Amino acid sequence: METGGPLAGFRVLELAGLAPGPFAGMMLADHGAEVLRVDRVAAVTDKPRREVMDRGKRSIGLDLKSPEGVAAFLELARHADAVIEVFRPGVAERLGIGPADLHAVNERLVYGRLTGWGQDGPLAPRAGHDIDYVAVSGVLSQLGRAGEKPTPPINILGDFAGGGLMLAYGILLALLERERTGRGRVVDAAMVDGAAVLFSMFYSLTQSGFWGPRGTNLLDGGAPMYDTYETKDGGFMAVGALEPQFWGELVARLDVPDMPDQDPRNWPAIRERLTEAFKTRTRAEWEAVFADSDACVSPVLDMAEAPDHPHNVARGTFVEIGGLAQAAPAPRLLGAATGDLAPATRLDDLTAWGLPDDTATRLRAQGVLA
């Protein structure tokens, strides 16, 4: 068994920002990277940070609007493998910590930039949120029920999947390339780009004529065999019985006679029959009915229930760290350890990052470092 995780030995500077940046840092820290979060001075305390996405990290406060703070950051970057930067385009350059500034002191550095719109294009300087990025990528147009307006999802698709996860992936790509070239690279991770590439299959299906308007398709709630149904006690069951063998298993377990076949012309009648059937028992009763089945039927668990589900318990899908239940690192590299999952704490000794104790003491006395 290896110790420290597959990214042990890699150092990452994470400039504090909203959720997608810390998520990228968490993904790297989970697998052993040494991630140092750089906050504002006023944001740093001696208490461990209870934010889940800061697990496994160390943190400092640094005044990046002062020449001394910028000089200290450049020294930290000299000893880093990667930087996570989440500012609007041009902000890092104005602070003196843009890619050119950092590559001047460390040509091997991978400079990861995460924005909503990217580093160029007409929208690059504009503000935005997840809903805007998934809207412009075309993704939002496909989310929601037929005949209803598009439904904004929780900010998973743009911020986290299209943003933070893509940034972590891009940093790893650049680190792999560095093994051949010896030089770092700038990673331009834009949430609008990430959301668009996540939707690759559906662009293909649309252009091939196999994907129709929102809420009328096989995987978007249009098909009754791929939807959720309320139970007798107000719970819900998720049904994904698409293939004929799974559909046959579902019908048999429901014990509904004369169920129409899956022809789209029968979808309204099928939905009505499924709705009526699931209302006859509680969620727990249906869980028992489908427990050993290949009907692709599962209970819809809330966030308090999910950590206690037998499968999640057996897999160790969730862990408790610092009193907070949270998802364990993923994906798993079998046989390899993960990184330190403890809550983030302040890093006082920065000598390994190139700042001698006397320099750190002086910067703290000046209020530049915390």
User: What is the DSSP annotation of 30-71?
Assistant: TTT-EEEEEE-GGG--SSPB--GGGTT-EEEEB-TTSHHHHH
CA dist., res. 309 & res. 290, Å (int): 15
Closest of 205, 123, 116, 128 to residue 166, by C-alpha: 116
Maximum distance among all alpha carbons in the chain?
82
Of the options 3.40.50.2300, 3.30.1540.10, 1.20.58.390, 2.40.50.100, the CATH number for the domain spanning 226-301: 3.30.1540.10
Three-class DSSP category at 326 = strand
User: What is the DSSP annotation of 111-175?
Assistant: EEEEESS-SSSTTTTS---HHHHHHHTT-GGG-S-TTS---PPPTIIIIIIIIIIHHHHHHHHHH
How far CA 190 is from CA of 97, 128, 170, 196, 275, in Å, comes to: 20, 12, 11, 10, 41
**For this structure, is 340 an active site residue?**
no
Blockwise average pLDDT, block size 10, the chain, 370 residues:
78 95 97 96 79 93 97 98 97 98 98 98 96 98 96 96 98 98 98 98 94 96 97 98 96 92 95 97 98 97 96 96 92 89 92 95 96
Of the options 3.40.50.10540, 3.20.20.150, 3.40.50.1980, 3.40.50.720, the CATH number for the domain spanning 11-199+321-366: 3.40.50.10540
Catalytic residue among 54, 130, 132, 159: 159
- Residue ranges per structural domain of the chain: 11-199+321-366, 226-301
CB 33 within 8 A of CB 12: yes
**For this structure, is 129 an active site residue?**
yes
Q: What is the pLDDT of residue 2?
A: 46
CA dist., res. 265 & res. 244, Å (int): 17
How far CA 177 is from CA of 50, 167, 174, 181, 331, in Å, comes to: 35, 15, 5, 6, 22
Catalytic residue among 101, 129, 294, 309: 129
Closest of 100, 115, 76, 114 to residue 184, by C-alpha: 100
Pairing of strands 318-321, 186-190: unpaired
Q: What is the DSSP letter of 369?
A: B
Q: How many CB atoms lie within 10 A of CB 346?
A: 17
